[in-house]
Amino acid sequence: MERSTIVRVQDGLHARPATRFVRLAKGFESDVEIVKGEKAVSAKSSVKLMLLGVKENDEVSIRADGADAIEAVDALIAYLENPLSGVEEGAGESATQPVPPQKEPAPKKVDAEASTPVADGGIHGVAASAGLGLGPVFAHFPQQIVPANKTLSADEIAPEKKRFEDAIVRLQEKLDRSLASDGMQESDRGIVAALRDIASDDALRDETLAAIDGGLDAVSAVIAASSRLADDFRKLDDAYMAARAEDMESIARQICLTLLGQEDARLDDIPDGAILVAEDIGAWDLARAPLKRLGGVVCGQGGATSHVAIIARTHGIPAVLGLGEAVNQLREAKEAAIDGHTGQVVVEPDAATRARFDEMIGAAAREKEALKAYKDVVPRRADGTVIQVAANLGSLEEVEAAQEAGAMGVGLFRTELLFMRHMHLPSEDMQAETYAELARAFPDHPVIVRTLDIGGDKPISGVEFPEEENPFLGWRGIRMCLDRTDIFKVQLRALLRAAVHGNLRVMLPMVSDVEEVRRTRALIDECAAELKAEGVACGEFPLGVMIETPAAVFGAAALAKEVSFFSIGTNDLTQYVMAADRLNPAVASLNDAAHPAVMAAVEQAAKAAMDAGIEIGMCGEAAARGDLIPEFIRMGLTELSMSPASIQATKKQLSELLETAA
């Protein structure tokens, strides 16, 4: 049994998605392989799977042979096409809720001042996690394990293989206990679970046993096998996958320590604010460390895509990695200062450097803490009008971050990401549940869902797009949807069904003509009538349009008579007003929402909305620009939607602005 498909797992089958895929494959009796190009590997080995280098949008085949081959192929193909259907690993057992593959957190955005070295001199490595740290050095340089390369006699081989197998079992039990503890965050738990599976993976196990059969002692065999596999990872052209070499070496060290009956030095005694310095540190060790005490992490090995970097970024810990031999300058140091924005490390900083770091660390901490006070603030004008500060989201996985930031609903939910994740068009049921869950997440605030905004620049499976010289000016957004009512009606039906679960609103992208709104309304009425005839519960929703084409600006007065609200999409509006492709660096200087022509377009749309008595908001990147927010409020905008990371700062600015105006 064999079938081919296109991989829709975000970023491909890296460590955690590979672990989930392998766990799914191991649930079947059949022998299962995954094939990419001319190479086939076992689907039940996460190491072999990662070494295959399967990336998002790659074409692969699943091949199975056995009693449940059909079921195995169907399940694995479904996972590759729809990773949301896969199961996440938990603390030693499968969870019951579907969890999407996790993407590596991006480094924090920093201001211009933070992007320059805080002090002269020092040593430099990879800026792996933003932030500043100043504190005592906690040097962690455990003794290296040197292979004995002992030659076994024939009668020693079988007992040595058993000793190795027993060590794997003991290490698995140890890792399972760690995963079951309450002190580990879910983001770190996924990394440790992937390491646990590597420890018993067939690739490492088989190579080690073969080396023991060749006469090597178990410790030397583990080191030899893991070194070969680590070298294979380093040869991969994908930076994230190449960094998995460090995971291989880290877990090999833990196997060797278990064989030797030893434990690595624990990190439990790290003092508050200390800078952890190491030649290398395993993700498992770091995940179990008292992370709240760390003032920073400095390593000779590692890079921005290593699991140590991911853990550091997740927990907001400054990190500089990849120092190489220079890390030895910190072995005996008493104090260090690190700049995770630039990769700078200052050993034994002088008084001036300490003062500079202290000043900036204190300012950043005070600003971050102060902004938390604005999480639940509701900005209001003097007349009582609420200014909604909402979140732009692309998936349900982003809801928690928006809630924690204090988002007052959702100003833009990009439904195209739901379509782009699948090999096939998402069903009405899948869409309805997604939109309903989104509405339920913000019961006290409006949730605005944008209908499918797809085109030649963002193709999806199931729709054949024409070749276009300029897809931004082509068959996209509402234009495509009205031509493909078989797709559009499924989405509209799903939205009507979800409307019973909360304050759901719907807006149309790329509108250029009033007739597009009228045709959509006719389809909505048609869908509502169908649902009622079928006895399916459905509600109603306010219909709005995005103002992102010059035609929508010039025709705003007519559009305002047809809809309940406007939302200005400044990203596209700017490129269309300025006739400057926002993806073309040669004209980047023209792509500025602050340009007088763009601001005039925003004001014209705002006036049309106010004259008609409808709401107007903004969901483009300019909504979070502190230099433009006062103008947007003056124009009459009552909603600003942005990345969750900008919400609290925007609430603060609005509160101060509106208080002054009052």
Q: Catalogue the long-range contacts made by 103-111 (C-beta closer than 8 Å, 24 or more residues apart).
A: 103/10, 103/11, 104/11, 104/240, 104/305, 104/310, 105/310, 105/313, 105/314, 106/313, 107/304, 107/313, 108/313, 109/645, 110/341
Tell me the pairing of strands 126-129 and 319-321.
antiparallel
Q: How buried is 644 (Cβ within 10 angstroms: 0-12 exposed, 13-18 middle, 19+ buried)?
A: buried
CB 415 within 8 A of CB 450: yes
Q: Which value, to the nearest 10 degrees, does the dihedral of the CA atoms of residues 350, 356, 361, 363 take?
A: 160
CA gap 476, 459 in Å, rounded: 10
CA gap 348, 512 in Å, rounded: 63
- 631 by DSSP, 3-state: which? helix
CA gap 414, 503 in Å, rounded: 17
Q: What is the DSSP string of 475-502?
A: S-THHHHHH-HHHHHHHHHHHHHHGGGS
CA gap 552, 584 in Å, rounded: 24
**Region at 37 (left for phi over 0; alpha for psi -120 to 50; beta for the rest):** left
Catalytic residues: 307, 619
CA gap 464, 482 in Å, rounded: 15
CA gap 459, 319 in Å, rounded: 38
CA gap 100, 83 in Å, rounded: 6
**How far, in Å, are 131, 291, 337, 353 from residue 330 at the CA level?**
19, 20, 11, 17
Nearest by Cα to 358 from 121, 119, 109: 119
Nearest by Cα to 492 from 503, 476, 508: 508
**How far, in Å, are 20, 89, 287, 409, 614 from residue 93 at the CA level?**
12, 6, 19, 35, 52
Tell me the pairing of strands 504-508 and 543-547.
parallel
Nearest by Cα to 265 from 289, 247, 242, 287: 289
How many other β-carbons are positioned within 10 Å of the β-carbon of residue 31? 15
Q: What is the DSSP string of 129-161?
A: E-SEEEEEEEEE-PPPPPP--PBPPHHHHHHHH
Residue 650: which residues within 8 A CB-CB, separation 6 or more?
Answer: 389, 623, 624, 626, 629, 640, 642
Nearest by Cα to 342 from 104, 129, 106: 129
Residue 243: both structure tokens together: 């960094």
